[in-house]
Structure 1
Amino acid sequence: MTAPVRRAGVFAILCTLALAVPIVGPQAAAPIAAVVLLGAFVVTDGPLFDLLAYPGDYEDNRLYGLITFVLAGIALGLIATTFSLSITVFVGTVLLIGYGNLGEQLARTRTDDDVVHVTAFSLFATAAAVVGGAISMSFEYGPAVAESQLPTLLFLAASGALLAALLRDVLFLYDDPVVMLSVGLLLWLLAELESGLGTGEILVALAVTVALGYASYALETASIAGMLTGILLGLLTIVLGNYGWFVVLISFFAIGGLSTKFRYEKKERLGVAEDNDGARGSGNVLGNAAVALGAVLGYAASSAALLPSNPDPTLFLFAFAGSVATAMSDTLSSEIGSVFEAPRLITTFEPVEPGTDGGVTWQGELAGIVGATVVAGISYALFPEVGLAGAAIIVAAGFVGMTVDSLLGATLEGTVLGNQGVNFLATLSGALICALLVLSFAVLG
């Protein structure tokens, strides 16, 4: 057994102590955390130090990795006992991190394949969170309640595992305290929302999103981080929205990803090709889809009457479609328009070099309008509440958002904003325009 596996095993055992909170109560569990924290300060060398130390701990002979991990757990526990974060979510989050890391370290002893490492982490993390959550809920509310809440436990566990795997991929491997707090806060939010799906339906949703996510990685249209981000977004969209929402979202990922490969060799010669052979990372995925995710969460919160003034959930549907139409329009206009060598700056219409921020071509603008029309057509086919007028609004919102992206690119990108910030603001403008136009037509008609 390697040192990383032994260390991960000990950390997993320490994480299991979180079960003391639902079993014996927060007051009795606090001394356990205090003893572990004190021991981490006291042990500065010897076999026990070597067992628990991360590579960076040797510089100061202090178990900073363990100390910050325990402090993160204590912080999450205080939130659980002070605010509305449930003990079940607290226990599931802590076990998720500990056992997910153990699964990943075991996988590393067998293969160097990063996809296998991520898969092992996610499977171990999900299983540990479900089991830990069920035990916690059984002690708090009884076995019958725990059994009835299995779909919710599975959804929360899988969502937390995916977020943790993503954060561990884009951060450092030893940033588990940051990962723990981030996962706990996300699950706190998701636990307040109603999914309405059964265990089998959530398993199907996981299978669908994982299959499509891996396909994007295998086709080299997404990096591992991009794949994980897409899977998490897809799962949340299916569970909190429905498959119709997911089809709209996946149409962007599929068509947008393939458009990146369009005449890729020429884009490389012109210096406008996406890095990493066109594989999109988590930043690119989130820059284009964060607003859509916010609309999904808003829809679920509105449907559960958790928002003030109880806005119509349909508004969030149109905001979602408007943001995706913008992302599709902008991606197609950039990827297709960039192969034409006569772009003009959108603010002055002066000729500029290919790849210049804010440069547009008529071919790219046409491709962008087609992209928005595709999203509008899918929305019209899947959502009866959209209608022809709604579809036209979605196209208009996509075009406006694409234009905002170009204007921001010509004026602020590279100085005030980065590419992902521009994408976020453009999709936000598309979402807001779509919702406002729907409201305006509702008032007028």
Structure 2
Amino acid sequence: MTSTLRRAGGFAVVGTLALAAPSLGTAAFAPFAAVALLAAFVIDDGPLFELFARPGDRKDGRLNGLAGFSLAATGLALLATVPRARMPITVFVASVLILAYGNLGARLVDTRADDEFLRAAGFVSVGVLAGTVGQAAVVSLTDEPFALSRFIFIAALGALVAALLRSALYERDDPVVMLTVGIALWGVDGLVGPVTPAQTGVAIAMTVALGYAAYALGTASVAGMITGVLLLLVAVGFGGFGWAVVLASFFGIGALATKFRYERKAERGVAEDNEGARGTGNVLGNSAVSLLAVVGYATMETVGQPLGSDLFVLAFAGSVAAAMSDTLSSEIGGLFDNPRLITSLKPVPAGTDGAVTWQGEVAGVAGAALVAGSAIVLLPLPDTAAAVAILVGGVVGMTVDSLLGATVEGDRLGNQAVNFLMTLGGALGAVVVWLPL
């Protein structure tokens, strides 16, 4: 057994102390606080030190990693027991176990294969299992209702958030990951309604299938893949299957459009970098507005504001229509000659920011129409006129992207910022057009 695997096993054992929370009540923080004190000031040599020591710990002669992990768990335990805060005990336990056992799952994979995708899959799989079992164990000791589907959904969401953060941070930043997962799941727990077994099962199957396809086909990096499936899971939990299908249609069709005649686009200098594999920044740039919209919809539904719900549905669909429209116009239009700058209509070289072709514009309108048509069937739109507003919103977003590309992209704004503003333009465009209708 390697030292990293033994260390991950040791952290998992420490994380298991969270299961004592229902019995300890307001003293749930005590075991972790004690471990943090021992790690920081007492254990500086011997078998325990060698078990938990990370490379930097040996230089400092102190178990900084274990102390940070335990202090983060202490903070979450306090949030779960302080009267005015009251994070659900299930969320506290799930957050600790997801990270502790997820790391163990990743290290188990490392003993068999050196593959980033398999490592992330091991982290998420074991993290989901541990988070689900932890929540179930807690409610078995309390009067809370047993809701296995909800436990799985919460654990899956937390594991994906943790895996995404770990892909961007260092191992020593695990305390930040744990605290972030805890706060995120606390918010989710308060907004997500009942989760049915069918909803959970289909959501997990959809995210696993799409995530594997994205990685296997090379349409997304590992971090981009995790981001995409996380957004789909959020869409299912806060909106429903229809929301996830609309979003998945953009991911799937957009990815295929990116790969379409990729070599030809590369020769022309208009192809996406990294062989077309989109990373976290690209995925979030195109989907952050839709994520905010679906969370806003769930909030309006919770407080009983139907007009607000309608506006957020339109904003969601408009942002996805804009992302689809812009992607298709760029990927299809880049294959044709004679592009012109949108602000002056003067001919410019292929690949110039803000350049458009009539073929790309037609493809963009078709993409927006596709999203508008699917929204009629899959989303709770207020009326059929909303489909027209979504189509217009998609075209508005595509045009915003071209205008920003011709004026400020590069020196002032990066591609991800432009994508965000483009989808925001699509969302606002759909809302503004629908209101007078």
TM-score (norm 1): 0.92
Distance 2:412 2:76 in 1: 35
Q: Which residue of 2 aligns with 1:2?
A: 2
Q: Aligned with 1:10: secondary structure?
A: helix
1:118 to 103, 117, 120: 120
8 Å CA contact 1:380, 1:386 repeated in 2: no
**Alignment of structure 1 residues 141-220 onto 2, 5 Å:** 141=143, 145=145, 147=146, 149-220=147-218
Q: Aligned with 1:20: secondary structure?
A: helix
Distance 1:57 1:261, change over 3 A: same
Q: Which residue of 1 aligns with 2:52?
A: 52
**Alignment of structure 1 residues 76-91 onto 2, 5 Å:** 76-82=76-82, 83-91=85-93
Q: Which residue of 2 aligns with 1:232?
A: 230
Q: Aligned with 1:259: secondary structure?
A: helix
Q: Which residue of 2 aligns with 1:140?
A: 142
Matched, 1:352 2:351: no
Distance 1:251 1:200 in 2: 21
1:212-256: CA deviation from partner (whole Å, max 9, x where unpaired): 221122121122222212211112212322222222111111110
Q: Which residue of 1 aligns with 2:111?
A: 109
Distance 1:215 1:34 in 2: 43
Distance 1:84 1:320 in 2: 32
Q: Aligned with 2:403: secondary structure?
A: helix
* Percent of matched pairs sharing the same residue: 54
Distance 1:340 1:437 in 2: 32
Distance 1:378 1:284 in 2: 23
Flag structure 2 segments of 5+ consecutive residues without an equivalent: none
Amino acid at match of 1:368: G
Q: Which residue of 2 aligns with 1:35?
A: 34
Matched, 1:365 2:364: no
Amino acid at match of 1:354: A
52-61 vs 93-102, greater mean Cα deviation: 52-61
378-387 vs 39-48, greater mean Cα deviation: 378-387
8 Å CA contact 1:23, 1:136 repeated in 2: no
Distance 1:81 1:405, change over 3 A: farther
Distance 1:78 1:275, change over 3 A: same
| Structure 1 stretches of at least 4 aligned residues deviating more than 6 Å after TM superposition | none
Distance 1:151 1:367 in 2: 41
Matched, 1:396 2:392: yes
Distance 1:252 1:48, change over 3 A: same
Distance 1:184 1:327 in 2: 31
Q: Aligned with 1:140: secondary structure?
A: coil
Distance 1:430 1:61, change over 3 A: same
Offset at residue 67 of structure 1 (A): 2.2
Offset at residue 384 of structure 1 (A): 6.6
1:329 to 325, 342, 347: 325
Flag structure 1 segments of 5+ consecutive residues without an equivalent: none
Distance 1:382 1:32, change over 3 A: closer
Distance 1:35 1:194, change over 3 A: closer
Distance 1:76 1:226, change over 3 A: same
Offset at residue 343 of structure 1 (A): 2.4
Offset at residue 388 of structure 1 (A): 4.2
Distance 1:36 1:304 in 2: 40
Offset at residue 182 of structure 1 (A): 1.7
8 Å CA contact 2:392, 2:433 repeated in 1: no
8 Å CA contact 2:314, 2:381 repeated in 1: no
Matched, 1:407 2:406: no
Distance 1:134 1:302 in 2: 30
Amino acid at match of 1:363: Q
Amino acid at match of 1:161: A
8 Å CA contact 2:30, 2:74 repeated in 1: no
Distance 1:286 1:196, change over 3 A: same
Distance 1:14 1:350 in 2: 65
Q: Aligned residues, how many?
A: 434
Distance 1:241 1:141 in 2: 29
Q: Which residue of 1 aligns with 2:67?
A: 67
8 Å CA contact 1:323, 1:398 repeated in 2: yes
Amino acid at match of 2:327: T
Offset at residue 166 of structure 1 (A): 1.9
Q: Which residue of 2 aligns with 1:250?
A: 248
RMSD, aligned CA:
2.0
Distance 1:381 1:34 in 2: 53
Q: Aligned with 2:352: secondary structure?
A: coil
1:355-396: CA deviation from partner (whole Å, max 9, x where unpaired): 222222222222111110111111123347465422111111
8 Å CA contact 1:302, 1:312 repeated in 2: yes
Distance 1:164 1:37 in 2: 22
Amino acid at match of 1:376: A
Q: Which residue of 1 aligns with 2:298?
A: 300
Q: Which residue of 2 aligns with 1:425?
A: 421
